Chains A and B, each alone.
Chain A
Amino acid sequence: MATISVRTRDGGLHSFDGRIGASLMENIRNAGFDELLAMCGGCLSCATCHVYVEQLPTSASLPVPSIDETELLEGSDYRQERSRLSCQIPFDETLSGIVIGIAPED
């Protein structure tokens, strides 16, 4: 079991089993969180799957954001140091236990 915890905008924390190989965006969407619009379907053309990585399991690491991801995130009024586009993070076993917050809607 590889779990993902998602903090929704109302502050609630929800955990579920993630699917290995799918992106974090797809996992969050498929778990039924409709706050995450992910309008472009995961092709790095919008920033509507913006999340905060609140906790990363020890020894896990995330792929370095591409220039495109960084530039898209720059456009958010809610960008923080831990901001990522969840479509750009493939979910694997090492990320089990990750805690993700859904960023406010721009």
Chain B
Amino acid sequence: MRPDNLTRSFDCVIVGGGHGGSQTAAALRQSGFSGSIALIGAEPDLPYDRPSLSKDYLAGTKTFERMHLRPQDFWGTREVELLLGRHVSAVDPTARIVVTDGGEYFSYGQMVWAAGGDPRKLSCSGSDLAGIFYIRSKADCDALIDVLPNARRIVIIGGGYVGLEAAAVFRKIGKEVTLVEALDRVLARVAGEPISRFYENEHRARGVDLRLNSNVASLEGVNGRVSRVVLEAGEAIAADIVVVGIGIIPSVGPLIAAGAKGANGVDVDEFCRTSVPDIYCIGDCARLENGPGIRIESVQNATDQATTAAKAICGEFKAYDATPWFWSNQYDLKMQTVGLNYGFDSVVTRGDPASRRFSVIYLKNGAVLALDCINSPRDYVQGRKLVDSAARIDPAALADTSRQLNEIDFVTS
């Protein structure tokens, strides 16, 4: 590091301009932090609502301006310096400096790393062809929207939330959609089988050609543009464009290189502190050491961890204990999740999936871990209390839709 190159000094540098980073800045001011704050964002845009990208924004039903998390003047009045369009490439925890790939050096008193993740890229042969899209940033989405009018056949690779939400949008605007999933069901990593089967049926009923147990062998192209997706089983599917949603790689390289403990995400304690002094890590790229041992990729997690870190920086140490929640919108289906189903050993289906209004309740050793609620906000709301109490409850009573979830007796674990 060459201190003579020091560009600016800030009392708190926040790396990442998503939900986590912007909420950190707002929460610092709400908590009375009076020092200087810089928010370094890789994208050129004001912080925006990312989940809308694969839903309303892709569908063209929401303008970008309506997705801004805060208006432009908010940042000015809160005296938060927005340093946008900058990638942080290195961290020197001894000199307390972050370096951007544009060669700027910013010193920090405290740092909050909220850099999120980058989409995991295809690595098979042909993955460098033109016509392959990801949905993680506004730029990704804009590039996709630009080519949509000329694309009739779309192959989506990955049956997670992003892939399924995109499939719903594409069917709505009349595209031919084939969705390729490597595992034997969609949403296999996040939801129980009843939820997977329900969404598979819904997508198929709306014309999505869903291929489970299907691995992509290669992509083939004509004149440098993708034209076919070849499966390992040998079949080739014609594609004008390919949309890939196979997860994210947490953006933690510079922090790990600086000595922070972690691997697939940076390990943090209950106050979102990393193993490096005065560096916090939050959101998609943070892994709570005393949690379930996974990173949680959600707006709720990013926002609530931001508040935890901001308060700790202001001297108010309040352990992170927010109940996770999540949502997904596909077609006219609203799914709301409360709790984490990690490690569940049984599930109860409450209501009939054929009615398109039901919930799946996840239990471990008889205690409620989580619920996935389809078009059932009441179950979602009432289920939260069961999750918070780790309620031990009769499965037959849980399945009985003639009773509301808040009318059932339970024992607290």
- Report A's interface with B, CB cutoff 8 A: 22, 26, 29-30, 32, 34-35, 37, 39-47, 67-68, 71-72, 74-75
Contacts and interface: CB of A to CB of B under 8 A. Distances in A.
A34 B26 contact: yes
A14 to B, nearest CB: 13
A71 B377 contact: yes
B70 A41 contact: no
A22 B74 contact: no
A41 B336 CA distance: 14
> Helix, strand, loop or mixed for chain B's interface?
helix
B218 interface: no
B4 interface: no
A68 B334 contact: yes
Interface string B43-82: 0000001011001100000000011111101100110000
Given A37-B303, A43-B329, A46-B325, A32 B70 contact: yes
Interface of B: 26, 29-30, 49, 51-52, 55-56, 66-71, 73-74, 77-78, 299-300, 303, 325, 327, 329, 334, 336, 377-378, 380-382, 384
Nearest to B48: A41
Contact of A75 (B49, B74, B381): B381
Given A32-B71, A37-B303, A43 B378 contact: no
Contacts of A42: 66
B299 A68 contact: no
Contacts of B26: 34
A75 B371 CA distance: 15
Contacts of A39: 299-300, 303
A43 B66 contact: no
Most chain B beta carbons < 10 A, residue from A35, A41, A44, A68: A41
Contacts of B380: 71-72, 75
Given A32-B70, A43-B329, A45-B334, A74 B299 contact: no
17 contacts: A29-B69, A30-B68, A30-B70, A30-B71, A37-B303, A39-B303, A40-B327, A41-B49, A43-B327, A46-B300, A68-B334, A71-B377, A71-B380, A71-B381, A72-B377, A75-B380, A75-B381
